[in-house]
């Protein structure tokens, strides 16, 4: 298993959680640096994008790995899983209602805004789930994960 210096699992989790189609994140498996590619159709082309595209074209699969991004259905399932962990029936029902209606992501967050302790618990729950996914992804590419949290 390969070890990468300066590998920041929190940054990898943030990249995984960013599922915007106009951005993609890549891990430099030599340095641990995470680079972000911005769609030139949306953001325009500049020197940064042109240089990055050259680097990625030259090193994709060897030096750079595309960091996976969470799919919407996976994020939704994670919210439903979290709602199932809530013991207070009022909060759980409100979250379930939010998830079953229109704009479930927005309404889920709106409900949690009324319950700061549960909101913090959600952030921990979500981050831990993202961390597990990133660890599996790294291991699937033969990259050793430092067991100490960052």
Residue 22, domain member (yes or no): yes
* Residue 150 confidence (pLDDT): 46
Q: Are residues 60 and 86 in the same domain?
A: no
Q: Are residues 90 and 117 in the same domain?
A: yes
pLDDT tens, position by position, 18-27:
988 888 999 9
User: How many separate domains does the chain show?
Assistant: 2
Residue 116, domain member (yes or no): yes
pTM: 0.83
Q: Are residues 41 and 89 in the same domain?
A: no
pLDDT band of 50, cuts 50, 70, 90 = confident
HEC assignment per residue over 75-135: HHHHHHHHHHHCCCHHHHHHHHHHHHCCCHHHHHHHHHHCCHHHHHHHHHHHHHHHHHHHH
pLDDT tens, position by position, 72-123:
999 999 999 999 999 999 999 999 999 999 999 999 999 999 999 999 999 9
pLDDT tens, position by position, 124-141:
999 999 999 999 999 999
Residue 14, domain member (yes or no): yes
Cβ-contact 42, 22 below 8 angstroms: yes
pLDDT band of 147, cuts 50, 70, 90 = low
Q: Are residues 76 and 64 in the same domain?
A: no
Neighbours of 50 (CB within 10 A): 11
Q: Are residues 78 and 98 in the same domain?
A: yes
* Residue 93 confidence (pLDDT): 96
Q: Are residues 59 and 79 in the same domain?
A: no
Closest CA to 121 of 80, 75, 81, 82: 82
Q: Are residues 61 and 7 in the same domain?
A: yes
Whether residue 31 has pLDDT greater than 70? yes
Q: Which domain holds residue 124?
A: 72-135
Residue 65, domain member (yes or no): yes
Q: Are residues 81 and 37 in the same domain?
A: no
């Amino acid at each position: 298993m390969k070890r990468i210096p300066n590998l920041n699992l929190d940054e990898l989790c943030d990249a995984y959680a960013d599922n915007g189609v106009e951005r993609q994140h890549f891990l430099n498996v030599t340095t641990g640096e995470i680079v972000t590619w911005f769609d030139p159709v949306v953001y325009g082309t500049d020197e940064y994008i042109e240089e990055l595209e050259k680097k990625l074209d030259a090193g994709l699969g060897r030096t750079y790995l595309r960091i996976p991004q969470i799919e919407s259905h996976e994020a939704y399932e994670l919210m439903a899983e979290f709602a199932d962990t809530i013991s207070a029936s009022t909060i759980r029902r409100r979250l379930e209602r939010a998830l079953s209606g229109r704009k479930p992501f927005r309404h889920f967050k709106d409900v949690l805004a009324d319950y700061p302790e549960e909101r913090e618990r959600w952030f921990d729950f979500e981050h831990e789930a993202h961390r597990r996914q990133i660890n599996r992804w790294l291991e699937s590419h033969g990259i050793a994960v430092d067991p100490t949290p960052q």
